[in-house]
Amino acid sequence: MDTVIELSGVVAVLGQFPALAGVDLSVQRGEIVLLQGPKGAGKTSLLRVCAGLMPIERGSGHVLGIDLATNREAIRSRVGLLGHANGLYLDLTVMQNLQFWASTVAATESEVSAAMATMRIDGRLAGVRASQLSAGQRRRCALASLIVRRAEIWLLDEPHAGLDAAGRDELDALLRSAVSSGATVVLASHERDRALGLATRTVTIDGGGAA
């Protein structure tokens, strides 16, 4: 079994506030790990640390064998993060957004079409400006960009939020198929019951640490 994420005593700060106050986490390849905990517990920061976006103040961390303290930029192209924001350009249409995204990560036309099909983004929706989409629709676009990324680790922050029932089922199916293709998923959710059926393991985060 292959450890893709290994965090030990990690402290990460937002300005002067310790978002993570000594976190230990170990994730194996192919797992779907659910991070649960109250709001403000540090789940978002934990995901950002794993994505190489937030620097580690204390402790040590390795993602895909890469040391977070010295080389976190190298993690970024191999990991996909879906944060609270969707990463869309509001003045562009869905299609324009996805095409831009695809060209920055060197994805092909067919990969984009496949991702759109998976997320049920049809031709009509593709022509709509991102600013006019509902929250759920924006989420689906963000997930489509994530698919196109072909990331090894999927880090998802409240991915079910804003999706309708059909959307949620699709998301679960999507995650399972990603895992069967070799990816690993870590998702944060405070929708306990929903995500429980999906996850292989649950980790509780509270007060900036793993309880």
Partner 1 sequence: MNNTTIHKRRIAIAVARKDLTIEWNSRILVNQVAPFAAIVMVLFAFALDNDGILQRVAPGLVWLATLFSMLVVIQRSFTVESADGALDALRVAGVDMGAIFVGKAIALMVQLFVLELMLVATAVVLYGVEMTMVGFCEAIVTLVVATIGLGSVGTLYGGLAAGARGRETLLPLLLLPVVAPVLIGATRATEAAFGSGGTTVSEGWPWIGLLLVFAVLFCAVGTVAFGPLVDE
Partner 2 sequence: MAGQSGTGTSATRRLGVLVILMLAALALCGLWFSAEDVVQGSTVRMMYIHVPSIWTAYIAFGLTGLCSAIYLSGKNRSLAWDRVAGASGEIGVLFVAVSLVTGSMWGRLTWGTYWVWDARLTSTAFLFITYVGYLAVRQLGGTHRQRARRSSVLALLAILEIPLVHFSVTLWRSLHQDASVANPNAKVELDGLMLFSLFLGLVAFTLLFVWLVLHRQRTMMLEDAFSDRGLDVAITARRNEAGA
> Rule CB under 8 A: which residues touch partner 1?
51-55, 73-81, 83-92, 96, 100, 103-106, 129-130, 138, 145, 149
Among the listed residues 7, 10, 18, 88, the single contact to partner 2 using CB under 8 A: 18
Binding segment (CB under 8 A) for partner 2, from list 14-22, 77-85, 141-149, 179-187 = 14-22
Nearer to partner 1, 51 or 171 (CB): 51
**HEC-encoded secondary structure of the chain:** CCEEEEEEEEEEEECCEEEEEEEEEEEECCCEEEEECCCCCCHHHHHHHHCCCCCCCEEEEEECCEEHHHHHHHHHHHEEEECCCCCCCCCCEHHHHHHHHHHHCCCCHHHHHHHHHHCCCCHHHHCCEHHHCCHHHHHHHHHHHHHHHCCCEEEEECCCCCCCHHHHHHHHHHHHHHHHCCCEEEEECCCHHHHHCCCCEEEEEECCEEC
Q: Could you tell me the two tokens for 117?
A: 């099909």
Q: Which does 126 bind (CB under 5 to 8 A by kind): partner 1, partner 2, none?
A: none
Nearer to partner 2, 3 or 60 (CB): 60
Q: Could you tell me the two tokens for 166?
A: 């059909």
Nearer to partner 1, 73 or 122 (CB): 73
Nearer to partner 1, 38 or 65 (CB): 65
**17 belongs to the binding site for partner 2 (CB under 8 A):** yes
d(CA 109, CA 100): 11
Find the largest Cα–Cα distance for the chain.
49
Nearer to partner 2, 185 or 188 (CB): 188
Q: What are phi and psi of 122, to 5 degrees?
A: -90, 180
**21 belongs to the binding site for partner 2 (CB under 8 A):** yes
Among the listed residues 3, 8, 57, 135, the single contact to partner 2 using CB under 8 A: 57
Q: Which does 209 bind (CB under 5 to 8 A by kind): partner 1, partner 2, none?
A: partner 2
Nearer to partner 2, 167 or 208 (CB): 208
Q: Which does 76 bind (CB under 5 to 8 A by kind): partner 1, partner 2, none?
A: partner 1
Residues within the interface to partner 2 (CB under 8 A): 11, 13, 15-18, 21-22, 41, 55, 57, 206-209, 211
